[in-house]
C-alpha cells in the first residue's frame, strides 16, 4: 500500500510536475509531419536519466528514436513496463484553440496544450511516480521499464521492429498502457484492450491533368469513380462489404457481457457533446456501448479533390484522395483483410486504385480476471473510493499487441487523464487534481501487483 510520505511528496510537488508536463508539451512533436521528433526524444531521454534510470536511445533507420529506461528493485521479482509516446496529433484546426497549442498554459488548475494529456502528461507522470518513490522510499515496489516511442500517432509503424530487434529489453510481467481516465463524475476507468486498425489512403487518378469541367460529358471522373468505390466498400447498415471481413470476429462471452452491462454510459451526453441527433442506425445506448467495444468500423477520415475555394471553379479533377481508418476487433487479422480488400477492389474494376498503407495493427485484450487487471481495479477502488468502470476494450487503437502477444503479458490502461480532456482535438487539457490522483492510483497498482 502506498505510504503517507509518498502521497505527501506527490501533493507537495504537484506544481513542479505540472511544469515538467508543460515544458515537454511546449516542444512540438507531430509525427504525422515528422516535426520536432529528435528534439523531443532528447528532452525525454534527459528526463528519464534525471529520474535515476539507465537509459538507451534506440534507433532504427527512418524511425523516430525510442527512449528506453530501466530501474531495478529488490523489493519483488516483478517488472512492470510503462509504455507511453512523446509524439502528438496535428494541432489543426488552429482557429479553435483558446491558447496556442504549443504554448501550454494553466487556467483554473487545468493545463491546456497539444499533448498535455495524450500522451506527454501521462509520460511525465510515470517518471514522477518513480521519482516520488526514490525520494521517499529509496526503492521501487518492483522493477520498472520505460518504453517511450515517437510514432504512436502515426500508427507506431516501427514499434514492431524495435520490439523484434531489442526483444530482451521489453520483457516484463505486465504493461501499464499509455492512457487512463476519470469520467466527469470522478470515476476512474480501467481499460483492458484496444481495437486494431488499418489506415489506408486510396488514390484514384483518371486523367493526367485537370480538365475544364465541360469535358465531363466525355472524360472519366476520378471523384465519381471514388464514389462508386466507397459505395462498394460499405453498405447502408455500416457493414464493410469486403468478403470475409467479419470471419474472425470473436463474440463476447456471457461474463464479459455482464461486465459490459455494468459499464455506465451516458448516451444522451455523448450525443450532445458531438451534436448528434442519433447514434448510427438509430441504435440505443446498450447497443452503442457494445459497438464501441466490439464493432469494426470503416471511417472516412479525409477526402479531397478539385477546387475547395470560394465561388465556383468549373474543373474536372484529375484525381481524388481518400483517407480511411478501419477499426478491427479480436481476432480480425489485418494482413489478411488488407489482401482481401485489394482483391475485392481488383475484382470490382478498381485494380488501378492505389492503396497506400499508413498503418496496420491487430486488436489486443487482457481478461478482466487477470491478476494485473484485478490489481488495477482494486487500486482504483482504494484511491477513488468507488468501483472503477471496467472497459473490456477501448474504441481506440494502439500497438498493445506487440507486447501482449510476444511476452504473453497482461495490460491495463490506467493513468492521469480525463474523459473530457479533448484528446486529438483543440484545447486538449489535463487537470492537476487528476494528475495527482492518477499517480497514486498507478503506484497503488504497482504495490498490489508486486505483493501478489
Looking at the Cβ atoms of 73 and 154, the one nearer to its own copies is 154
φ, ψ dihedrals at 293, nearest 5°: -85, -40
Least distance in angstroms from the C-beta of 201 to its own copies = 8
| 70-109: burial string, b at 16+ Cβ within 10 Å, e else | bbebebbebbbbbbbbbbbbbbeeeeebeeebbebebeee
Least distance in angstroms from the C-beta of 297 to its own copies = 4
φ, ψ dihedrals at 68, nearest 5°: -110, 145
Task: Give which of 40, 81, 34 is closest to 57, Cα–Cα.
Answer: 40
Looking at the Cβ atoms of 363 and 443, the one nearer to its own copies is 363
First-to-last alpha carbon distance for the chain, in angstroms, is 12
* Range 161-168 contact pairs with CB under 8 angstroms and sequence separation of 24 or more: 161/60, 161/63, 162/58, 162/60, 162/63, 162/66, 163/402, 163/403, 163/406, 165/58, 165/60, 166/58, 166/68, 167/406
* DSSP 8-class letter at 75: S
Q: Are 216 and 316 in contact (CB under 8 A)?
A: yes
Least distance in angstroms from the C-beta of 320 to its own copies = 7
Task: Give which of 374, 371, 404 is closest to 388, Cα–Cα.
Answer: 374
β-strand pairing of 66-71 with 143-149:
antiparallel
Nearest 10 degrees: Cα torsion 235, 238, 240, 246: -130
Looking at the Cβ atoms of 74 and 209, the one nearer to its own copies is 209
Looking at the Cβ atoms of 295 and 431, the one nearer to its own copies is 295
Looking at the Cβ atoms of 18 and 222, the one nearer to its own copies is 222
Instruction: Identify the helix (H) or strand (E) that includes residue 433.
Output: helix 432-451
* DSSP 8-class letter at 195: B
Which 3 state secondary structure label does DSSP give 426?
coil
Looking at the Cβ atoms of 138 and 275, the one nearer to its own copies is 275
Least distance in angstroms from the C-beta of 276 to its own copies = 5
φ, ψ dihedrals at 175, nearest 5°: -125, 130
Least distance in angstroms from the C-beta of 347 to its own copies = 16
Looking at the Cβ atoms of 8 and 228, the one nearer to its own copies is 228
Least distance in angstroms from the C-beta of 45 to its own copies = 24
Least distance in angstroms from the C-beta of 286 to its own copies = 12
Looking at the Cβ atoms of 89 and 417, the one nearer to its own copies is 89
Least distance in angstroms from the C-beta of 260 to its own copies = 14
Looking at the Cβ atoms of 42 and 207, the one nearer to its own copies is 207
Least distance in angstroms from the C-beta of 121 to its own copies = 17
* Separation between Cα atoms, residue 400 and residue 213, nearest integer Å: 48
Amino acid at each position: 500500500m502506498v505510504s503517507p510520505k509518498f502521497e505527501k511528496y506527490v501533493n507537495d510537488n504537484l506544481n513542479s510536475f505540472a511544469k515538467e508536463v508543460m515544458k515537454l508539451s511546449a516542444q512540438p512533436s507531430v509525427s504525422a509531419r515528422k516535426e520536432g521528433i529528435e528534439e523531443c526524444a532528447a528532452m525525454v531521454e534527459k528526463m528519464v536519466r534525471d529520474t535515476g534510470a539507465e537509459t538507451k536511445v534506440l534507433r532504427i533507420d527512418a524511425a523516430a528514436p525510442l527512449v528506453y529506461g530501466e530501474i531495478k528493485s529488490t523489493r519483488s521479482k516483478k517488472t512492470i513496463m510503462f509504455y507511453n509516446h512523446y509524439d502528438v496529433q496535428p494541432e489543426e484546426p488552429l482557429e479553435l484553440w483558446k491558447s496556442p497549442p504549443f504554448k501550454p498554459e494553466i487556467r483554473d488548475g487545468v493545463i491546456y496544450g497539444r499533448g498535455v494529456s495524450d500522451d506527454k502528461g501521462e509520460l511525465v507522470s510515470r517518471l514522477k511516480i518513480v521519482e516520488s518513490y526514490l525520494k521517499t522510499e529509496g526503492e521501487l515496489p518492483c522493477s520498472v521499464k520505460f518504453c517511450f516511442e515517437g510514432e504512436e500517432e502515426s500508427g507506431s509503424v516501427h514499434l514492431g521492429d524495435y520490439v523484434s530487434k531489442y526483444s530482451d529489453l521489453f520483457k516484463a510481467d505486465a504493461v501499464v498502457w499509455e492512457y487512463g481516465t476519470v469520467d466527469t463524475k470522478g470515476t476512474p476507468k480501467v481499460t483492458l484492450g484496444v481495437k486494431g486498425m488499418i489506415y489506408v489512403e486510396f488514390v484514384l487518378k483518371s486523367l493526367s491533368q485537370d480538365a475544364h469541367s465541360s469535358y465531363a460529358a466525355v472524360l472519366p471522373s476520378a471523384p465519381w469513380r471514388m464514389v462508386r468505390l466507397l459505395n462498394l466498400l460499405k453498405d447502408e447498415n455500416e457493414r464493410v462489404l469486403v468478403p470475409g471481413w467479419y470471419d474472425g470476429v470473436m463474440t463476447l462471452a456471457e461474463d464479459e457481457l455482464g461486465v459490459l452491462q455494468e459499464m455506465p454510459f451516458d448516451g444522451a451526453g455523448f450525443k450532445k457533446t458531438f451534436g448528434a441527433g442519433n447514434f448510427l442506425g438509430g441504435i440505443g445506448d446498450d447497443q452503442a456501448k457494445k459497438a464501441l467495444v466490439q464493432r469494426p468500423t470503416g471511417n472516412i477520415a479525409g477526402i479531397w479533390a478539385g477546387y475547395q475555394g470560394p465561388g465556383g471553379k468549373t474543373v474536372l479533377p484529375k484525381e481524388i484522395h481518400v483517407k480511411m481508418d478501419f477499426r478491427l476487433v479480436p481476432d480480425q487479422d489485418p494482413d489478411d483483410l488488407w489482401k482481401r480488400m485489394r482483391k475485392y477492389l481488383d475484382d470490382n474494376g478498381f485494380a488501378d486504385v492505389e492503396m497506400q498503407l499508413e498503418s496496420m495493427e491487430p486488436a489486443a485484450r487482457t481478461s478482466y480476471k487477470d491478476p494485473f487487471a484485478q490489481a488495477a481495479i482494486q487500486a482504483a477502488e482504494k484511491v477513488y473510493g468507488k468501483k472503477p468502470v471496467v472497459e473490456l476494450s477501448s474504441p481506440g487503437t494502439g500497438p498493445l499487441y506487440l507486447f501482449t502477444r510476444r511476452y504473453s503479458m497482461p495490460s491495463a490502461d490506467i493513468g492521469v487523464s480525463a474523459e473530457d480532456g479533448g484528446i486529438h482535438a483543440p484545447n486538449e487539457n489535463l487537470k492537476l487534481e487528476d494528475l495527482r490522483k492518477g499517480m497514486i492510483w498507478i503506484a497503488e497498482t504497482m504495490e498490489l501487483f508486486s505483493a501478489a
